Structure 1
Amino acid sequence: MNIVILGAGQAAASMAAKLRALGHQGPITLIGDEAEPPYQRPPLSKAYLLGEMGLDRLTLRGAEWWTEQGIILHLAERATGIDRARRVVLTDKGEHPYDALALTLGASPRRLPQTMGGHLPGVHVVRNLADIAAAKPALVAGRRLVVIGGGYIGLEAAAVARKLGLHVTLVEAAPRILGRVAAAQTADMIRALHRAHGVDIIEGVGIERITGTEAADGVTLSDGRHLPADLVICGIGVAPETALAEAAGLAVDNGIATDAQGRSSDPAIWAAGDCASFPASDGRMRLESVGNAIDMAEAVAANMLGAGADYLPKPWFWSDQFDAKLQIAGLNAGYDQVVTRPGAGTHGGSVWYYRDGRLIAVDALNDARAYMIGKRLIEGGKSPSPEAVAEATDLKALM
C-alpha cells in the first residue's frame, strides 16, 4: 500500500514513525510546504523565540532517520488539489499517487482584516519558523509591544517579550484572559504572574484598529485609547486547514470531519491532528495540542493498516510562561463546579473541574504533583468528591 501524508508537522512525523513501527513495508511519502523537515511548534513561542533552543533541537527527527526508514520527504512543496477519482495529490511541483492519503494539515493563525490594519509591516503571528524569523529581529529590549489576544499563544509571547526587556501591553476583548479555555481561578493565577513580571493587561476592551501607514505604530482600542507600539503580535486563535479538503468535496465540520477511527467521508482519505474533528459524546471534537497530534496520528496509522479501533483521546496540554509551567489534564467543557488548592510557591496552585459531580479536568500551575494525580484519576475514570479534593492533606490518598 502506497501511503501519502499531506502536511509535515508533529502529526505527520508521528504517523510515519508509527506506520513503520507497525510493520508497514510499502512506500510512505510526506509532503510539506515548509523547507524544514517536521519540527516541534510549542517551543517556537517559548525557548526558540528566547534563543534558548536551536533548530537542531527543534526538529523531530534527524535527516538520517528519514533515510533509514525509507520515508520520502517532499519539502517546500505546496499541495494544490486532491484528485479523488485518480487518487492523486496535485502539487506545485508534480503529482503523487496514493492508495491511502492522510491529511495532517494543522491549523493557521487567524489574522485581523486589512481594514483593521492587520496587513501592516510590524504585525506578527506566531505559528511557524517563518513567523519567528520575521518577529525575532524586532524583539529588542526597550521597545513597546502590544499583544492582541489573551489566550495561551498571546500570553506566552508576552512572557518571552518581557524576558527580553520589552515593554508589553496585552489586550483581551473578552471580560478576562483565558475566557474560552480556563476557569476564572486559573486566569487569576496567570494574570497575577504576568503583572508581577511587569506585563500590563487590559481586559474587556476590543480593538478598533492597528494604526500606522508604512508600518504598525500603535493600537487604537474600542474605548478610544491609543497604545503606542513598535510591533504588534496577534494571538487571536487558529483555524483548521480545511481548504484542500473542501475543494476535494470532503465533509468538513469544525475541521475535516472523520469517523471514530479517523477516516474522512472518502474511505481512502484519513485525517489527524489540529485539522481533524472526530465524534465525541456531545457532538464533534477538535483538539489543538501536541498530545492529540501524536495520539490521533498513531491511532489513525494503526487503523490505516486495519486495526479498526476507535480513537479515544486522553487530552493533556501545557504552557510555559516566565518561570512557571501550567499543566492541564482532561477537558473542562461544560464544567459546573471548580475546587481550588493552593500551591507551594507564590505563583502556583491547582484548579479541579467538575461536571455533574464528576472530575473532568485539572489545571496545575507550578504543581506537577497535582497534575500527575489529577491526570491519573481522570484517565482511570476515578472521581473523588469535590470536598475530598478540597480537604485532602495528601493528594496521593485520592488514588
Structure 2
Amino acid sequence: MINKQLIKTSIINVIKRRARSLLTILSVLIGVNSIFVLISFGQGLVGYVDDLSQEMGNDKLIVQSKGFGIGTSIENNVMFRDKDVNFLEDSFGVDEAVGLYFQAAPIEIEEKRKYVFIAGSNIKENKKIIEEIYNLELFTGSDLDGSEKDDAVLGYNYLLDDDTFPNPLEVRDKVLINGVEVKVKGFYEAVGNPADDYNVYMTKEGFEDIFNPKSYQMILVRSSEGFDPSKLAEKLTEGLREDRGQSRGNEDFHIQTFEQAIASFSTILVTINVVLILIAFISLIVAGVNIANTMYASVLERTKDIGVMKAIGARNSNILLMFALESGLLSLIGGIFAVILGTIISIFAGTLVESAGFGFLQPALPIGLYAGCLFFSLFIGIVSGIMPAYRASKMKPVDALRYE
C-alpha cells in the first residue's frame, strides 16, 4: 500500500523544483499531444470509412483493371465495353450492372476554367446503385432522367463562391464541359471532399458525345438478394475470364466486393496512422530520457536527504517508491495537459478542415483515447524513473550522509 506521506513528499519535491519540473512536463506534453491528435484523426477517418461502408451496403461488386486503384491513373489499357456489362447483368445472381465513365476535363464558367472529374453513366436505369457508390443525395434541382443528354448534375461546391468561380451557379445555368455547352439540372449534397464536391455527373449519352470514350473505367454490379457477394465475385471472375478469352492468372481485370475494397483502404489508413504515431513516439522517447535525467539530478541533489531518511528508518522500498512516484507524477501531469491541449487542437483543426471542404476528416474523441494516453503517460514516467529510483534506494546511509 502506498504511504500517504510518500505521496505528499513526492508532490512537494515536484513543486519545489518547478523550473526543471515544467521542462520535463513540457517534453511529455509534446509527445503525448502529438500521439493524441494523430490517433483522434486516424480513428475519425476509419470511422468515416466504416460508416460509408454501412451506408453503401454489402451487396455491391466492383469490376476494374488490375492496375486500377489508389495512386493510379484513370486511364488504363483494359477495355470494358457494353458487351461485358451485358454479360455480367445476365449472369445468375446479378441484380444489375452498370458501366462507369471517368474523365478529367475543364469546366468553364464565365471564362473561368477549372479541371474536374466528369462521371458518365446510365443513371436513368441504374440511379440507386450509382448514388449509393458515389454517396450522392440531391440537394436542389432535379435528377438526371435521360430526357436531355446535355443535362448535368453538379457537386455542391458550385453553389459556393470561391477563388476560381466567384459567382455561385443556379439550376438551369449553362456551363462548358470540354468546350461543349451543358445545362445544369441540379446539385448534389456535399460529400465532404473538395475534389468530389466539384465533380460533374452526366448521362452515358451526354458523356459519349463530349469525350467519345473507348471503354468504361469500371463496372458496378449489385448481387441479387440471398447471394453471397464474395462467392458471386469468384463465379463472375471465372465467367468473365472465359468470355474475354483469358486464362486463369492472366486476367487483365479483377472483381472484388465493396467490403473488400473498403477493407483494403482501411488497412492503408491504419498503416499510415501507425507510421505517423511511431514518428510521434520518438518525441516520447526523448521525454523519457528527459525524465530519467531529471530524476538522476534529483537523486544527486538529495543524497543527504536520502541518508537522513534511511537513518531514521526509511526502507529501500520507501525510497524507490518515492522517486518512482515523482517521475510518474511529472509524466502524468504532462499527459493531463496533453489531452486537454490535444482536445482543443483536434476540435479546432476539425472545424478548420471542415470549413475547407474536408468534412470527412473529423476527429474521434472516445473515452478510451483519453484513458489510454493518461495511462501511457504514467507508464512512461514510471519506467523512465525506475533506474534513478533504484539507484537512490540502494544508497548506504553512511555514504549518503557524507556526500558533498
User: What TM-score results when the alignment is normalised by the length of structure 1?
Assistant: 0.21
User: What TM-score results when the alignment is normalised by the length of structure 2?
Assistant: 0.21
The structure whose Rg is larger is 2
Structure number with higher strand proportion = 1
Structure number with higher helix proportion = 2
* Larger RCO, structure (CA 8 Å, separation 6 or more): 2
